[in-house]
Amino acid sequence: MKKNLIAVLFLALFSSGMLSGQELANFSFGRGPRVASPVIQGDSVTFSLSADYATVVQLQGNWLQGMTPMRKSNGVWSVRLPLPAPEIYTYNFVVDGVSVNDPLNVMVQRDGNRYLSMLYVDGERSANYKEANHRGSVSHVWYDSKILGINRRLTVYTPYGYEANPKQKYPVLYLLHGAGGDEEAWSSMGRAAQILDNLIEQGKAVPMIVVMPNGNPGQQAAQTLSLPESNTNFRDPSMSNAYPRSLAEEIVPFIEKNFRAIPKKSSRAIAGLSMGGGHTITTSLLYPSMFDYICPLSMGTQDTPEINSQFAALKKAGFKLYWVGCGDSDFLFNNAKTLDSVLSKNNIEHTFFVSDGGHTWPNWRLYLNTFAPLLFK
Amino acid sequence: MKKNLIAVLFLALFSSGMLSGQELANFSFGRGPRVASPVIQGDSVTFSLSADYATVVQLQGNWLQGMTPMRKSNGVWSVRLPLPAPEIYTYNFVVDGVSVNDPLNVMVQRDGNRYLSMLYVDGERSANYKEANHRGSVSHVWYDSKILGINRRLTVYTPYGYEANPKQKYPVLYLLHGAGGDEEAWSSMGRAAQILDNLIEQGKAVPMIVVMPNGNPGQQAAQTLSLPESNTNFRDPSMSNAYPRSLAEEIVPFIEKNFRAIPKKSSRAIAGLSMGGGHTITTSLLYPSMFDYICPLSMGTQDTPEINSQFAALKKAGFKLYWVGCGDSDFLFNNAKTLDSVLSKNNIEHTFFVSDGGHTWPNWRLYLNTFAPLLFK
């Protein structure tokens, strides 16, 4: 009785615009049929959307070809599909031609400028993408870049136990995103914190710090209200390789000063996908004595005399792991194969890890989960 | 020429589902007319949505009454409205009855389970909600709660200079959210980091740590894939005030151990909105020697002999600031007035800050911006 009165009061206040959604999430109202979405049952998954006035509702998912029609019953559109293999997927509804996130699914990923609903299918392949029992911290920290001329944000993962062991120092993985991404890409879509938490908890990876900077040299941070892009002209020849230089000369020293990082080549790894794979290759070639572990993902190189002499210099400087990951249908697979052959030609011991599929997050999560156990050992 | 070829390749890969949005954000395609939204020009703001196949498109905003019709031209629905007063607003489109975020606006706020597009209107009232020049860090950290029986996440703001001054210790504000919120409410909708950055930069507030815990006692964290709610029965009498007890006996010691916090009453403040205002009142009454600064927002109390004797004990223990904020059309305004009168009756010096409006984030941001300069002085 009292609860109903409160619900009526809340509803009145909400309708009048006096009450924010903040106060509503714990109350349920009689607005149409009760629907949940997505619902996984056995080998199927059902998506539903309450949309009584829509003419056509379709489902779009990154594991589906084209649009999947949905059917309406009692004002609710739904479709039941075979459950795809264990992995994280993204999807949205298309309501009369307009993309709509699933309002019943709080799990949303931001992919560049787009927001997409998330479908998690549990299984061996995706187990490390769930939360572990022991979890590290994720921090958003600002640093000054004199090279790029701006103050910039980066994301730092510190492993479970970092606070409780104030004298312990840790190795550091620098983990770089691709074009269109930002300093939140690896920690959201990449599930980097969950993967490291799980691998460390299972004793497969050593506890490490993971630094995820913003690789767009003109950008201060993702999703800000008032921070302008840098005025720097990055096409000026003097700005050549500005981001790799900033990474090696500014980010690495900043991390080693402000976090309990081991400031040694043997405790530094660099990895990155696509554009970040390019940053990985370039930074490790320009600073051959900086990283012992080098992992370009979904990226390759050309076979030129200059590149070959740079790799020869890298081999001379020495390192412990060169791990290349690429999907066999990635549009950069040929570039990755060229990198593989350049490494072979220069007698550089390395791994060329070829997976199914293309230039996608399922592959990048798989690569991180695969190479992180090889680092700092 | 080369760029066009690359764009065509990307488009083909995207259409085939081989390419993630990650790689697309920096490319533009000829998908309908080029539209931006929202666009502020002078005293007006125009919202636009490309939706050629929709029958009815409307705009819903938290500063608007009901639905605002939009008009279609060349497949783009739009509406131009007077620019509301400086503040942060949220809005969405309603396409044939279904809520849709603005796909052209990357600024999105999560309000409990709902995602809403954000409109920022610049001006004196909202100036501190933008990014300051000197910015602190925001960290997501896990702590064990024996009282609640789960491992839980909290958000910690450390001010600009925290890393560079490793011997400096800071006072701490514990800042609590309302029902339906979580440990990300104050840092996203509340703009707490930006407000503190600006106040500290302007010399109006002292540098402080701000701790934003999750106030739902059974919840480990917001937006997780696999962390279940606590099994604890919080209705069991032995669990009475479990959350305030966990805050005082677990969170405060955790922060004072793991951050450079000054572990003194004179360096501890507690504030919270709505349910978090209740937590503020209860925790400060149960632990009268813990906080010198007490700021319940949009919340009040009853006038009972027990409450009065608790306030008498709080007065005896002593404190430096009791600051109550409430909107004059808040549905809890009468409760806040009762709190004001209980404080007066017990001869407790305090501030009763009454603002326009109701139980809303514009008020809670205003309150934080108003009382934070009064803390630790």
Q: Which residues of A touch B140 (CB under 8 A)?
A: 137-139
Does residue A22 sit at the B interface (CB-CB below 8 Å)?
Answer: yes
Q: Are the C-beta atoms of residues B87 and B126 closer than 8 Å to each other?
A: yes
Q: A91, A122, A153: which is the final residue of a domain? A: A122
- Structure confidence by residue, pLDDT tens digits, A252-272: 999 999 999 999 999 999 999
Does residue A67 sit at the B interface (CB-CB below 8 Å)?
Answer: no
3-state secondary structure of A254: helix
A27 assigned to some structural domain: no
* CATH number of the domain residue B108 falls in: 2.60.40.10
DSSP single-letter state for residue A228: P
Please give, rounded to a whole number of angstroms, the shortest distance from the CA of A185 to a CA of chain B: 8
Nearest-angstrom CA–CA distance, B315 and B317:
5
Contact A137 B135 (CB under 8 A): no
Provide the domain count of chain B.
Answer: 2
CA dihedral B28, B33, B36, B41 (to 10 degrees): 140
In terms of pLDDT, which residue wins out, A249 or B225? A249
Are residues B76 and B54 both part of a single domain? yes
- Structure confidence by residue, pLDDT tens digits, A343-367: 999 999 999 999 999 999 999 999 9
Q: Which residues of A touch B163 (CB under 8 A)?
A: 141, 257-258
CA neighbours closer than 13 Å in the CB half-sphere of residue B366: 21
Q: Find the CB nearest A22 among B180, B194, B330.
A: B180
Are residues A86 and A138 both part of a single domain? no
Are residues B56 and B90 both part of a single domain? yes
Contact B19 A108 (CB under 8 A): no
DSSP single-letter state for residue A70: -
- Structure confidence by residue, pLDDT tens digits, A83-124: 999 999 999 999 999 999 999 999 999 998 899 999 999 999
Confidence category of residue A229, pLDDT binned at 50, 70, 90: confident
Are residues A111 and A151 both part of a single domain? no
Phi, psi of B347 (to 5 degrees): 55, 40
Nearest partner of B111 among B215, B195, B220, B186, judged by Cα: B186
Say what percent of chain A tops pLDDT 70.
91
Does residue B189 sit at the A interface (CB-CB below 8 Å)?
Answer: yes
Nearest CA in chain A to B98: A51
A204 assigned to some structural domain: yes
Dihedral sign, Cα of residue A232, residue A236, residue A240, residue A245: negative
Query: Per-residue DSSP letters for B209-244?
Result: EEEEE---TT-S-SS-SS-PPP---TTSGGGTTHHH
Contact A22 B129 (CB under 8 A): no
DSSP-H helix ranges across A241-304: 242-246, 252-258, 275-286
Look at residue A29 in the predicted model and tell me its pLDDT: 39
Element (H, E) at B335: helix B333-345
Q: Are the C-beta atoms of residues A32 and A52 closer than 8 Å to each other?
A: yes
Are residues B273 and B306 both part of a single domain? yes
Q: Which residues of A touch B222 (CB under 8 A)?
A: 106
Nearest CA in chain B to A329: B18
- Structure confidence by residue, pLDDT tens digits, A271-311: 999 999 999 999 999 999 999 999 999 999 999 999 999 99
Contact A98 B100 (CB under 8 A): yes
CA dihedral B209, B212, B217, B218 (to 10 degrees): -120
Contact A22 B361 (CB under 8 A): yes
Nearest-angstrom CA–CA distance, B250 and B214:
13
3-state secondary structure of A21: helix
A89 assigned to some structural domain: yes
Are residues B192 and B261 both part of a single domain? yes
Nearest CA in chain B to A52: B97
Contact B101 A115 (CB under 8 A): yes
Look at residue A113 in the predicted model and tell me its pLDDT: 87
Contact A135 B151 (CB under 8 A): yes
Are residues B114 and B134 both part of a single domain? no
Please give, rounded to a whole number of angstroms, the shortest distance from the CA of A74 to a CA of chain B: 15
CA angle centred on B118, ends B130 and B210, rounded to 5°? 45
- Structure confidence by residue, pLDDT tens digits, A180-226: 999 999 999 999 999 999 999 999 999 999 999 999 999 999 989 88
Does residue A258 sit at the B interface (CB-CB below 8 Å)?
Answer: yes
Nearest-angstrom CA–CA distance, A319 and B3:
36
Nearest-angstrom CA–CA distance, A293 and A295:
7
pLDDT tens-place values along chain B, 377 residues long: 344 434 434 443 443 333 444 333 333 334 455 789 999 999 999 999 999 999 999 999 999 999 999 999 999 999 999 999 999 999 999 999 999 999 999 999 999 889 999 999 999 999 999 999 999 999 999 999 999 999 999 999 999 999 889 899 999 999 999 999 999 999 999 999 999 999 999 999 999 999 999 999 999 999 898 898 888 888 888 888 999 999 999 999 999 999 999 999 999 999 999 999 999 999 999 999 999 999 999 999 999 999 999 999 999 999 999 999 999 999 999 999 999 999 999 999 999 999 999 999 999 999 999 999 999 99
B29 assigned to some structural domain: no
Does residue A343 sit at the B interface (CB-CB below 8 Å)?
Answer: no
Look at residue B328 in the predicted model and tell me its pLDDT: 97
Tell me how far CA of residue A119 lies from CA of A49, A263, B225, B315, in angstroms.
15, 39, 10, 53
Burial A240-263 (b: 16+ CB within 10 A, else e): ebbbbbbbbebbbebbbebbbbbe
Counting other chains too, the contacts that A221-225 makes at CB distance below 8 Å and 24 or more residues apart are: A221/A142, A221/A152, A221/A153, A221/A182, A221/A183, A222/A153, A222/A182, A222/A183, A222/A184, A222/B106, A223/A110, A223/A182, A223/A184, A223/B106, A223/B107, A224/B131, A225/B107, A225/B120, A225/B129, A225/B130, A225/B131, A225/B194
Are residues A108 and A243 both part of a single domain? no
- In one-letter notation, the amino acid at residue A240 is S
In terms of pLDDT, which residue wins out, B19 or A248? A248
- In one-letter notation, the amino acid at residue A374 is L
Q: Which residues of A touch B135 (CB under 8 A)?
A: 142, 151, 153
Nearest-angstrom CA–CA distance, A131 and A133:
7
B55 assigned to some structural domain: yes
Q: B122, B145, B173: which is the final residue of a domain? A: B122
Query: Over chain A, what is the mean pLDDT?
Result: 91
Look at residue A33 in the predicted model and tell me its pLDDT: 55
Beta strands in chain A (DSSP E): 39-41, 44-50, 57-61, 68-69, 71-73, 76-82, 87-95, 98-100, 108-111, 114-121, 137-145, 150-158, 172-176, 209-213, 268-273, 293-297, 321-327, 351-355
Please give, rounded to a whole number of angstroms, the shortest distance from the CA of B305 to a CA of chain A: 24
Q: Which residues of B touch A102 (CB under 8 A)?
A: none
Look at residue A24 in the predicted model and tell me its pLDDT: 37
Does residue A36 sit at the B interface (CB-CB below 8 Å)?
Answer: no
DSSP single-letter state for residue B247: I
Nearest-angstrom CA–CA distance, A14 and B112:
15
Phi, psi of A182 (to 5 degrees): -160, -165
For helices B361-371 and B192-201, give the axis angle rounded to 10 degrees. Answer: 30
Domain that holds residue A275: 130-226+235-374
Phi, psi of A144 (to 5 degrees): -90, 130
Please tell me the pTM assigned to this model. Answer: 0.90
Nearest-angstrom CA–CA distance, A44 and A82:
4
For residue A13, what are its two tokens? 């206040």
Q: Find the CB nearest A26 among B180, B185, B222.
A: B180
B22 assigned to some structural domain: no
For residue A356, what are its two tokens? 């199914």
Instruction: Establish, for the pair of chains A and B, how many residue pairs have beta carbons separated by less than 8 Å.
Output: 234
Q: How does strand B293-297 pair with strand B87-95?
A: unpaired
B355 assigned to some structural domain: yes
- In sequence order, the 6+-apart residues with CB closer than 8 A to the CB of B240 are none
Does residue A11 sit at the B interface (CB-CB below 8 Å)?
Answer: no
Are residues B77 and B210 both part of a single domain? no
Please give, rounded to a whole number of angstroms, the shortest distance from the CA of B151 to a CA of chain A: 8
Does residue A361 sit at the B interface (CB-CB below 8 Å)?
Answer: yes
Tell me how far CA of residue B359 lies from CA of A52, B326, B329, B345, in angstroms.
31, 8, 8, 26
Please give, rounded to a whole number of angstroms, the shortest distance from the CA of B134 to a CA of chain A: 9
Are residues A265 and A286 both part of a single domain? yes
**Judging by beta carbons within 10 Å of its beta carbon (0-12, 13-18, 19+), is residue A176 exposed, middle or buried?**
buried
Q: A122, A155, A181: which is the final residue of a domain? A: A122
Look at residue B18 in the predicted model and tell me its pLDDT: 39
Are residues A93 and A76 both part of a single domain? yes
Q: Find the CB nearest B21 among A96, A114, A120.
A: A114
Q: Are the C-beta atoms of residues B23 and B7 closer than 8 Å to each other?
A: no
Does residue A270 sit at the B interface (CB-CB below 8 Å)?
Answer: no
Does residue A106 sit at the B interface (CB-CB below 8 Å)?
Answer: yes
Look at residue B167 in the predicted model and tell me its pLDDT: 93
Nearest-angstrom CA–CA distance, A313 and A290:
13
Contact B53 A55 (CB under 8 A): yes
Are residues A164 and A198 both part of a single domain? yes
Q: Find the CB nearest A21 among B17, B93, B114.
A: B114
CA dihedral A343, A348, A351, A356 (to 10 degrees): 10
Contact B19 A52 (CB under 8 A): no
Element (H, E) at B257: helix B252-258
* CATH number of the domain residue A340 falls in: 3.40.50.1820
Q: How does strand A150-158 pair with strand A209-213?
A: antiparallel
Does residue B233 sit at the A interface (CB-CB below 8 Å)?
Answer: no
Does residue B11 sit at the A interface (CB-CB below 8 Å)?
Answer: no
CA neighbours closer than 13 Å in the CB half-sphere of residue B274: 24
Q: Which residues of A touch B28 (CB under 8 A)?
A: none
B27 assigned to some structural domain: no
